[in-house]
Amino acid sequence: MSTTDTIADRSWSRARTAVLRDAVGVGVAVGALGLSFGALSVLAGFSVAQTSALSLLMFSGASQFAVIGVMGAGGGALTGAATATLLGVRNSLYGLNLASLLRLHGARRLVGAHLVLDESSAMATARSDPREARLAFWATGISVFVLWNIATLAGALGAHVLPDPEALGLDVAAPAAFVALLLPRLRGRRLWALAVAAAVIALIMVPLLPAGIPVLVAGLTAIVAAFTARRAGDR
């Protein structure tokens, strides 16, 4: 009895170390992205306070990049907010998968919701043991939150000491970052076709619609595609 307890304790402590190490590793990788977010946000015309508010409060990488991308290109506030919100839809699905695992209530649920991210969800669902999965969720979420925000502030403050951003090619940094975020999702011909179609639709709309709206219209085609493909039974 006591031996099995010791073995269980030892394997839990080993698992805990592994989970925490992974959490810090993910945080550092995300922090590097946070640096570029901070700088690009300031270059897009947001103040340091607004930039930090995005990372502290919105705390969702793709949505934050979308806000500064849309607003930086002259889009309206509502368009920026709508694009960010639509990009956050996937977090609902993560939450759905996490809910039965975390079993959060009251204030812990409100805090936990803030930490629902690509990274924390991936790390938690990768663990089969529920105790490890819960630890992975909180450790990754907190690690990413801390490092993402420190990096954002550093990037935002550093942006002012940079020379001409276009001479450094920084206007390409955001699309390049999006490509890197997007490609791992493009599994299969259907998703590639959707990505290309969305890009073409957005470009066709650029001369016709106010800034930011073309991206939203292209996004809505995805929803239409989802429903029509389902009805046609095409998978």
Site for another protein in 153-182 (CB under 8 A): 166-182
140 near another protein, judged by CB under 8 A: no
The answer to whether residues 37 and 155 touch, using CB atoms and an 8 Å cutoff, is yes
Least spacing, CB of residue 62 vs another protein, in Å? 7
64 φ, ψ (degrees, to nearest 5): -65, -45
Handedness of CA 188, 191, 197, 203 (dihedral sign): negative
Nearer to another protein, 88 or 157 (CB): 88
Instruction: Sketch the per residue contact string, 3 through 42, with another protein: x for CB under 8 A, - otherwise.
Output: --------------------------x--xx--x------
Task: Indicate the SS3 state at residue 98.
Answer: helix
The answer to whether residues 8 and 121 touch, using CB atoms and an 8 Å cutoff, is no
Q: Buried (b) or exposed (e) across 166-205, using 16+ Cβ within 10 A?
A: eeeebeebbeebeeeeeeeeeeeeeeeebbeebeebbeeb
Nearer to another protein, 20 or 104 (CB): 104
Least spacing, CB of residue 9 vs another protein, in Å? 31
Least spacing, CB of residue 77 vs another protein, in Å? 4
Nearer to another protein, 15 or 104 (CB): 104
Site for another protein in 190-209 (CB under 8 A): 191, 194-203, 206-207
Least spacing, CB of residue 100 vs another protein, in Å? 8
Tokens representing residue 23 in the block:
């959490």
Q: Which of 74, 79, 92, 64 is nearest to 181 (CA)?
A: 64
Nearer to another protein, 19 or 43 (CB): 43
Site for another protein in 35-94 (CB under 8 A): 36, 45-47, 50, 53-54, 57-60, 62-63, 65-67, 69-71, 73-74, 77-78, 80-94
Q: Which of 100, 33, 26 is nearest to 65 (CA)?
A: 33
